[in-house]
Structure 1
Amino acid sequence: MALILVTGASTGLGHSTVNALADEGHDVVVHVRNQARLTEEDGTARWKGVVLGDLTELDEIRGVARQASRFGRFDAVIHNAGTMRTPEAATVNTVAPYLLTALMDKPARLIYLSSSMHRGGSTDLRGLSAGTASYSDSKLWVTALALALASRWEGTASHAVDPGWVPTRMGGAGAPDDLTAGHETQVWLATHPDVTPGTGGYWYHRQAQTPHPAARDEEFQARLIEVLESRTGVPLD
């Protein structure tokens, strides 16, 4: 069975993901913002452990990395945490996945939550530091990060996933996509022995899709990583 970290797992897609992984017998480490996000009904007894931290704060993101590293090298990390709010979107949706990735031991598999809205994102990276980035911007950037890592780290597969517009607290009750299908691709990518392409995929409901062209542009990927290194003070090996 695999050792898997899932961020932003107290509600919504993250919670569905950890429950599905636990049902399959995997050792799941669950990230939540704070202890108050957990209730007796969450099934914490089935989890390998819990790590705490607010992903809007760089110091707390570093703390999450330290806590998670105590469990050893993960087989997979699912960067699920997200927000649609400005100015937090850039930090939670892009900076936090980058910083956790840079600080932790390289896992066998990395899965980053994207969105179909990434196609409306901007390649102007000034909003990343200024706190003016939109949700779409942040999802384009994390998609580019995922695809950059696919060719950067030998031995680590990296994918981006559009979970669909699903009826979670973020998506709203009227969202048209299937809630179960919203987490199945992440679980599959984290655990299935045979995924094609084996790395660098942009996925929607287990089907490889074509992302925004900038997400695969090596020059844009390099600029993004340079800005993230400057923003966090942590280089990407």
Structure 2
Amino acid sequence: MARIFITGSSDGLGLMAGQLLAEQGHSVVLHARNEARAEDVRAALPQAEAVLIGDLSTLAAMHDVAQQANASGRFDAVIHNVGLGYREPRRVETSDGLSQLWAVNVLAPYVLTALMQRPERLIYLSSGMHSGGDDSLNDLQWANRRWNGSQAYSDTKLHDLLLTFGVARRWPTVRSNAVSPGWVKTRMGGAGAPDDLSQGHLTQVWLAVSDDPAALETGEYFYHQRPIKVLPAAHDHALQDRLLDICREVSGVALD
């Protein structure tokens, strides 16, 4: 039996992954933004070991959730599912002066990765929209650009791949992989999403617990349990290191 922590798991794909893992007999710790959502997820999955609470748009909450996670014990796998979508109508600034979209989608997975006890497996949620991401790594907070929610989201999904592959290089004993769940009908994806929702959480679960040789790889990007191509820039070691350096400078947290 494995022990898995899933961020952003009060509904959608995160909750679906938790439900499947629990059905398989694994111990699951979920995460919700606030107490009200935590109550909902406890009702939806009462067999969950625990629900950690914290709004991962702020650095203080990132630290707090990492502390809660560490206090509960080491995890075998962490699924970084938390995220905001591409339909954000405007740039929202966090109390730390950051773009909320970037803080949740990129900085939170980075800070949790750096602060939590290292698991055996790390799974990050990316998207096919990463291929439209800006690989310049300029103006990540959209302070000088005219806001474009779709572009900002695509950028963060490229950053998530840079994070995934950068961690895989720096931590060779940890399996670090990314997933495209497809464009599915969740609260984020919207009612018009064409992909199969029933498939959207399966690859994350497979990477978290399977002994299939393909699931034991590291530094890969998967869609429906198959490795797929990524924007070539995602494999650029200098870009990976630059993003990790930016995250360190912004957060004050180093990835050893």
Return the TM-score normalized by structure 2: 0.89
User: Which letter does structure 2 place at the counterpart of 1:121?
Assistant: G
Corresponding residue number in structure 2 for 1:47: 48
Superposed displacement of residue 214, structure 1: 1.3
Query: Contact 2:120–2:173 at 8 Å: present in 1 too?
Result: yes
Q: Does 1:217 align with 2:229?
A: no
Matched, 1:116 2:117: no
User: In the TM superposition, what is the alpha-carbon distance from 1:154 to its structure 2 partner?
Assistant: 2.6
**Quick one: distance in 1 between partners of 2:195 and 2:32?**
25
User: 2:109 maps to what in 1?
Assistant: 97
SS at match of 1:18: helix
Find the aligned partners of 1:125 and 1:113 in 2 and give their Cα distance.
19
Give the aligned length.
237
Instruction: Write out per-residue CA displacement over residues 166-217 of structure 1, whole angstroms, 9 at most, x where no aligned residue.
Output: 0001111121111111000000000001232611110001110011111111
- Provide the rounded CA distance (Å) in 2 between the counterparts of 1:54 and 1:108: 25
**Correspondence for 1:154:** 172
Counterpart for residue 251 of structure 2: 232
Asked whether 1:203 is paired with 2:242, we answer no
Structure-to-structure mapping, 1:25-104, within 5 angstroms: 25-37=25-37, 38-39=39-40, 42-84=43-85, 85=88, 86=91, 87-104=99-116
1:175 to 182, 193, 210: 193
CA distance, structure 2, for counterparts of residue 227 and residue 195 of structure 1: 34
The amino acid across from 1:112 in the alignment is: Y
Instruction: Specify the code of the residue in structure 2 equivalent to 1:178.
Output: D
The match for 2:163 among 135, 145, 150 is 145
What percent of counterpart residues are identical?
49
Q: 1: CA distance between counterparts of 2:236 and 2:161?
A: 11
Distance 1:178 1:40 in 2: 23
- Displacement, 1:129? 4.2
Are 1:189 and 2:207 counterparts? Answer: yes
Cα distance in 1 for partners of 2:208, 2:80 equals 11
Cα shift at 1:130? 4.8
RMSD, aligned α-carbons: 1.5
* 2: CA distance, partners of 1:17 / 1:198: 20
Amino acid in the other structure paired with 2:6:
V
- Asked if structure 2 preserves the Cα contact closer than 8 Å seen for 1:141 and 1:224, the reply is yes
Superposed CA deviations along residues 136-159 of structure 1, whole A, max 9, x for unmatched, are 001100111101111211320000
Greater alpha carbon shift after TM alignment, 81-90 vs 204-213: 81-90
Closer, same or farther in 2 for the Cα pair 1:121/1:50, shift >3 Å?
same
The whole-number CA distance in structure 2 between the counterparts of 1:209 and 1:112 is 15
Q: Structure 1 residues 133-142 or 33-42, which shifts more?
A: 33-42
- TM value normalised by structure 1: 0.95
After TM superposition, give the deviation of residue 126 of structure 1 in Å. 3.2
